[in-house]
């Protein structure tokens, strides 16, 4: 009992510290019955963060946007992604059911990089897209990225003084999970199917340590309820495990939507002194078994979705965009509202 009394003040002090430096988001992965896997995330930001949905077919030639030493590749898989400001892929799922989510991590420190040097570079705006373009499973991605054949490089978000610091989570249709972080200039990979919850700060090792404290307190009696990242992580971890395990997709989707909304921040709530208390702007839910990607804009009362079996992901397929940045009003299956569009330019180095 004495040990717990000493731990709680330290935990609370740590939570207050990270609340002053973190910008929040939450990500969860649900595993039901008979191969039912669903990944959900929220995007929280202090101001507007315009989002659009994009369809990218196979066969797109890409550059890492890091100067003459940029990594180059041709997309092996088609994907549907959510863009931020049409300069980065921040969320998405590919045609094999691999899901990627970028979340803010202020503790990120990327390797030193020479723009025209010998080491290959990949701009952070393309990190998620590279994974969706090239891999069908988490294990494949972990095998390649762990070789450190290239490095992730970052820069300021165009038009701002905000230096982009993110970590990447991925999950696949089997329920496997991995989280990639750059800590002190080194890539750290957490690979385990049990890593079903994630927020922004602190680094993932410390998120697990905080959660281990709360596991000693039954969630039916008390759960931390603030908007801080550590508290959202605990709630996400508890509820994603507590909801029914089912293969009824309507029930499973409703349950997962309930969990990610429980970890969201109501629109209009923010704090100048606590940037972690930022309003949820949008949410996504990816059904990796049936390959359906859902988008929930908080300023639109309707959830929309895209069914992958209706999309032409072949190399003859077209790049298409569903404009959402001006809070356009759609409802339900919205594939017919996508318009053929030139691809956006990914943000590169300053």
d(CA 295, CA 325): 13
CA–CA gap between residue 143 and residue 51 (Å, rounded):
31
Minimal CA–CA distance to 275: which of 14, 23, 91? 23
For the range 182-190, what are the long-range contacts, defined as Cβ-Cβ under 8 Å and sequence gap of 24 or more? 182/108, 182/109, 182/110, 182/111, 182/152, 183/107, 183/108, 183/109, 184/109, 185/109, 185/110, 185/111, 185/112, 186/111, 187/145, 187/146, 187/148, 187/152, 189/142, 189/145, 189/146
136: burial class by Cβ within 10 Å (0-12, 13-18, 19+)?
middle
* Cα torsion 248, 253, 254, 258: sign: positive
Closest alpha carbon to 168 in 200, 136, 211, 208: 200
Q: Which residues are catalytic?
A: 25
Q: Is 266 helix (H, G, I), strand (E, B) or coil?
A: coil
> How many CA atoms within 13 Å lie on the side-chain side of 141?
29
């Amino acid at each position: 009992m004495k040990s717990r009394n000493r731990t709680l003040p330290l935990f609370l002090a740590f939570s207050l510290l990270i609340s002053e430096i973190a910008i929040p988001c939450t990500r969860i992965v649900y595993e039901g019955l008979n191969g039912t896997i669903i990944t959900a995330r929220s995007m929280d930001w202090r101001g507007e963060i315009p989002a659009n949905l994009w369809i990218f077919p196979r066969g797109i030639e890409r550059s890492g946007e890091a100067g003459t030493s940029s990594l180059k590749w041709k997309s092996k898989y088609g994907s549907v992604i959510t863009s931020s400001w049409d300069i980065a892929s921040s969320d998405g799922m590919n045609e094999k059911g691999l899901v990627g989510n970028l979340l803010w991590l202020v503790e990120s420190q990327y390797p030193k990089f020479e723009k025209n040097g010998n080491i290959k570079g990949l701009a952070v705006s393309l990190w998620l897209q590279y994974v969706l373009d090239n891999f069908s499973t988490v294990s494949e991605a972990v095998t390649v990225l762990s070789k450190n054949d290239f490095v992730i490089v970052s820069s300021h978000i165009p038009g701002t003084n905000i230096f982009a610091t993110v970590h990447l989570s991925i999950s696949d249709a089997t329920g496997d999970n991995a989280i990639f972080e750059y800590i002190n200039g080194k890539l750290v990979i957490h690979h385990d199917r049990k890593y079903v919850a994630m927020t922004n700060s602190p680094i993932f090792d410390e998120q697990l340590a905080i959660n281990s404290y709360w596991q000693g307190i039954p969630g039916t009696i008390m759960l931390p309820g603030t908007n801080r990242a550590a508290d959202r992580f605990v709630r996400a971890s508890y509820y994603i495990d507590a909801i029914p395990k089912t293969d009824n997709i309507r029930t499973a989707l409703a349950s997962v939507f309930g969990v990610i909304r429980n970890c969201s921040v109501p629109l209009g709530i923010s704090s100048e002194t606590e940037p972690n208390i930022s309003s949820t702007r949008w949410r996504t839910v990816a059904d990796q078994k049936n390959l359906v990607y859902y988008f929930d804009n908080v300023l639109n009362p309707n959830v929309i979705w895209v069914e992958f079996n209706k999309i032409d992901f072949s190399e003859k397929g077209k790049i298409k965009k569903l404009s959402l940045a001006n809070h356009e009003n759609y409802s339900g299956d919205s594939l017919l509202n996508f318009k053929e569009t030139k691809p956006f330019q990914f943000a590169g180095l300053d």
